[in-house]
Copies of this chain bind each other. A is one copy, B any other.
Amino acid sequence: MGESQTRSFVLRGDVCYNRSLTEFDARRDAYVVCVDGVSQGVFDELPDRYQGLPVVDCAGRLVVPGLVDLHVHAPQYTFRGIAMDLELLDWLNTYTFPEESKYADLAYADEAYGYFAQDLRASATTRAAIFASLHVPATALLMDKLEATGLKTYVGKVNMDRNSPDSLTDGSAQASLAATCAWLDQVDGAYRNTRPIITPRFTPSCTDALMEGLGALAGERGLPVQSHLSENLTEIAWVGELCPWAACYGETYDRWGLLGGADKGARKGGADKGGATERGTGPGVTERGASKAIMAHCNYSSPEEVELLRARGTYVAHCPQSNANVASGIAPVRRYLDLGMDVGLGTDVAGGASLSMFRGVTDAVMASKLRWRCVDQSLAPLTIQEAFYLATLGGGSFFGRVGSLAAGYDFDALVLDDSGIRSPRQLGVEQRLERFCYLHGEGGRIEHKYVAGNKVF
């Protein structure tokens, strides 16, 4: 049986998904049709034209889109849930850099990435943008393991050439770029599910020369970019010292084409389909740089920086659990959404302890309420449907037509068993999804998972 046949079927269950940030569809006992890995839409009655397809009967179960983790550090999975007593820069130097140094040892990487890949496969995540370490062999090994999960992932070899410990540095911009090219030659196009993404760690770890080279590489190879931006106040001040030429932290990426292109039309087609676009500032950066970029956090972006992100179409990866654990603060997500910007959610393991994107959804809601209460009442808290949008369509569009069960989207889906969350109340489908997000770990279970129509389990 060919793949186009195995990837064509009907799921029956209680379906809910976002059509957009503001449109949420929830239907009891409905049918989602998948043909060749692409959703044909959700139907109350199965249309005649699909009667010949096999029906997977999940009556009574929730059927929702797969969740997208837009920011997660694979090598940090080994110390998730510990070492939460420091702020960002001290946390990096004390816990993170020493741990990432271990991935020079391929045996260590093999065990650690094995757990990460297995647990990610079992999680709610169907797509992820992942930081590896700076080690090329370990990063390729991670990509091998992720490829085998069936999940769709971007993986980045991390670049670092300054303010880094001797045990964790590429040594120089030239060496970092050479290692990156060698890595790309090895992995780019080598997988069905896993693709490389250009990954400067963050400005404090990368010289301008390295940034310039990475921007050029992203443009030449048509690769997307991921990094960190304006997570912590001390970090931002440090970037100001390191790059006095930049009007804002964001400009330290943008100057080299690392915030993504501004052509939203092309960009929407998928991270690696959009072309590089002209940008106005910086010497020699026209016609180069990434088509698409993710910046994690953006907790303290200045108005100028926000405008830059908006103009470039940069994706913001909101990581509420990490931002609490490392005491960074709470990002003004509502503001970014009001501006029409692309925002997704990240677990940011190990800043975040949990790999669960359901947890990410509820953390986003809770953080937004505390921000409303404690910081700024001009930004209304997120609703559960808005947070679910962030975890599906919001981050999903980075991967193409991903994050919804509406017709035309890649068929990424979860079948959720919530029968273990017991109550005498009869709840609506929408309420059951909300409850599952909060209580997935207390009686909920992911029964099946599909990525682009392929069954993961």
Contact = CB atoms under 8 A, between A and B. Distances in A.
Interface of A: 77-85, 108, 111-112, 115, 119, 321, 324-325, 327-330, 353-356, 362, 365-367, 369-375, 381, 383-384, 421-425, 427, 431, 434-443
Contact of A78 (B329, B367, B425): B425
Contact of A112 (B423, B439, B442): B423
Given A77-B423, A327-B381, A370-B370, 19 more contacts: A79-B425, A80-B435, A80-B439, A81-B436, A84-B365, A85-B384, A108-B424, A112-B423, A112-B424, A115-B424, A119-B442, A119-B443, A324-B366, A324-B369, A324-B370, A327-B373, A353-B362, A355-B442, A356-B441
A329 B383 contact: no
Contacts of A440: 441
A245 to B, nearest CB: 29
Given A327-B381, A353-B439, A439-B353, A82 B372 contact: no
8 contacts: A78-B424, A80-B439, A82-B438, A83-B431, A324-B367, A325-B369, A354-B438, A441-B441
Nearest to A109: B424
A381 B328 CA distance: 12
A379 to B, nearest CB: 12
A335 B111 CA distance: 44
A319 to B, nearest CB: 13
Contact of A374 (B77, B365, B371): B371
B421 A81 contact: yes
Count chain B CB atoms within 10 A of each CB in A84, A383, A431 and give the residue with the most.
A84
Contacts of A425: 78-79
A427 B82 contact: yes
Given A112-B423, A330-B374, A374-B330, A81 B324 contact: no
A438 B80 contact: yes
A257 to B, nearest CB: 33
How often does this chain occur in the complex, in copies?
Answer: 2
B442 A354 contact: yes
Contacts of A321: 366
Contact of A431 (B82, B355, B381): B82
Contact of A329 (B84, B327, B374, B439): B374
B374 A438 contact: no
Nearest to A371: B374
B371 A435 contact: no
Contacts of A325: 366, 369
Nearest to A425: B78
A438 B324 CA distance: 13
Contact of A423 (B79, B371, B374, B423): B79
A47 B152 CA distance: 57
Contacts of A328: 373
| In the complex, the 8 A-B pairs of residues with the closest C-beta atoms, listed nearest first | A441-B441, A81-B438, A81-B435, A353-B438, A327-B369, A324-B366, A111-B424, A115-B422
Contacts of A78: 423-425
A195 to B, nearest CB: 26
A423 B115 CA distance: 7
Contacts of A422: 115, 119
A82 B327 contact: no
B84 A434 contact: yes
A403 B401 CA distance: 53
A78 B427 CA distance: 10
Nearest to A443: B119
A370 B434 contact: no
Count chain B CB atoms within 10 A of each CB in A366, A367, A438 and give the residue with the most.
A366
Nearest to A440: B441
A234 to B, nearest CB: 12
A19 B299 CA distance: 38
Contacts of A370: 324, 327, 329-330, 367, 370, 374
A240 to B, nearest CB: 20
Contacts of A115: 422-424
